[in-house]
């Protein structure tokens, strides 16, 4: 057990004194602001990537109307399912399931139901799901990176005790039961402040690095047919696995063979994503030439005429290394040789 060294506190990362501010009677919660900022960043990046792949501006915003609510509900359901005793066990409060502002969102539930919402929105607009999700996946990483700062405001989901210079200060009222039990077992006293691994920061930096890697791979190898999503899952689960191993937050599901449930989830999803990547690359190499379902898309819906190619009706603008055709719809195969337009997005903060 690492002792808390007061002389090192000055070199650590402080936690905010409060995670809530008030504008008159209206509370502004840091956790919620981080989630909202992450969603906005993901939509912005996704919109630009979707245009670069031949889609029309505004499609991603329309899809988000479905994906975001589904994702939030899914994230909450996953958290409640994996921490059910805290709500329905002895001393639990079932009504607090609705208190989403207090924290408690599970990433995998959000991704799963968010994808369902995106699928519904895509079906309604005549958009092919695979190129849509490939356009959205990197931005989701940026959103996750930003959203993790909500854990900092709530002083939650931190790692094991440490005295490293970048350790995170946590107030006594936010200690986990597991940490208090550890002190008790070692006959140590509770202190007002202790320092822990800042797992929120580790995941934020990991996600930003994964975002940069995926953008490079997409530009270099022109990934398509859902393979950007597969790389996203592999990259995220690699980081989530070791970060989850550091965490000491109270979990309601028993360890399986010495590993936390979320570690096993990461392992299983990594294997599935890797298998899909290999299978997809053999079955359908390269990238799709159409992003809309045949007979659908902006041109077909507005004129009743089936689109016949990647018609470019607007001026082109440059986004980073990518060329975006404002009016491009349908197939993107007519682009100039060597034009990397459909391979990535501009520099941005990540998710």
DSSP states of 73-142? HHHHHHHHHHTTHHHHSTT--GGGGG-GGG----HHHHHHHHHHHHHHHHHHHTB-HHHHHHHHHHHHHH
pLDDT at 254: 61
Question: In 3-state terms, what secondary structure has residue 61?
Answer: helix
Where the chain has pLDDT below 70, the residues are 1-10, 251-255, 299-351
pLDDT at 178: 80
Q: How far is CA 111 from CA 42, 84, 206, 253, in A?
A: 13, 20, 18, 21
Please tell me the number of Cα atoms within 13 Å of 68 on its side-chain side: 16
- In contact, 310 and 330? CB cutoff 8 Å: yes
Residue 243 contacts by C-beta under 8 Å, 6 or more apart in sequence?
Answer: 159, 199, 202, 203, 206
pLDDT at 60: 98
Question: Distance between CA 273 and CA 206 in Å, rounded?
Answer: 18
Q: How far is CA 128 from CA 158, 324, 330, 348, in A?
A: 39, 19, 10, 26
pLDDT at 253: 59
Question: Distance between CA 199 and CA 167 in Å, rounded?
Answer: 10
pLDDT at 302: 59
Question: Distance between CA 98 and CA 258 in Å, rounded?
Answer: 32
Annotated binding site: 148
pLDDT in tens, 87-136: 887 878 889 898 887 778 899 999 999 999 999 999 999 999 999 999 99
- What's the pTM? 0.80
């Amino acid at each position: 057990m690492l002792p808390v060294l007061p002389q090192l506190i000055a070199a650590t990362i402080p936690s905010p004194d409060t995670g809530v501010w008030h504008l008159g009677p209206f509370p502004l919660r840091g956790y919620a602001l981080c989630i909202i900022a992450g969603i906005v960043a993901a939509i912005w990046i996704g919109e630009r990537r979707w245009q670069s792949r031949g889609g029309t501006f505004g499609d991603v915003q329309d899809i988000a109307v479905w994906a975001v609510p589904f994702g939030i509900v899914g994230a909450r359901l996953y958290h409640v399912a994996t921490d059910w005793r805290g709500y329905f066990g002895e001393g639990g409060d079932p009504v607090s399931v609705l208190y989403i502002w207090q924290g408690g969102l599970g990433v995998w539930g959000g991704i799963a139901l968010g994808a369902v919402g995106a699928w519904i929105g895509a079906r309604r607009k005549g958009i092919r799901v695979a190129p849509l999700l490939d356009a959205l996946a990197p931005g989701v990483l940026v959103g996750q990176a930003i959203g993790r700062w909500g854990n900092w405001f709530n002083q939650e989901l931190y790692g094991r005790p440490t005295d490293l210079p970048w350790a995170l200060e946590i107030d006594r009222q936010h200690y986990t039961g597991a940490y208090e039990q550890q002190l008790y077992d070692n006959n140590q006293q509770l202190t007002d402040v202790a320092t822990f691994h800042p797992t929120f920061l580790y995941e934020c930096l990991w996600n930003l690095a994964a975002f940069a890697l995926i953008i490079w791979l997409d530009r270099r190898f022109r990934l398509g047919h859902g393979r950007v999503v597969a790389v996203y899952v592999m990259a995220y689960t690699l980081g989530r696995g070791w970060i989850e191993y550091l965490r000491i937050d109270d979990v309601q599901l028993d360890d399986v063979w010495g590993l936390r449930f979320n570690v096993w989830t990461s392992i299983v999803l990594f294997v599935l994503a890797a298998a899909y990547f290999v299978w997809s690359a053999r079955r359908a190499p390269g990238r799709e030439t159409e992003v809309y379902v045949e007979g659908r898309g902006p041109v077909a819906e507005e004129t009743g005429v089936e689109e016949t190619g990647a018609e470019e009706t607007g001026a082109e603008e440059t986004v980073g290394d990518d060329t975006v055709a404002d009016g491009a719809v349908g197939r993107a195969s007519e682009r100039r040789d060597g034009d990397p337009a459909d391979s990535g997005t501009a520099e941005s903060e990540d998710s």
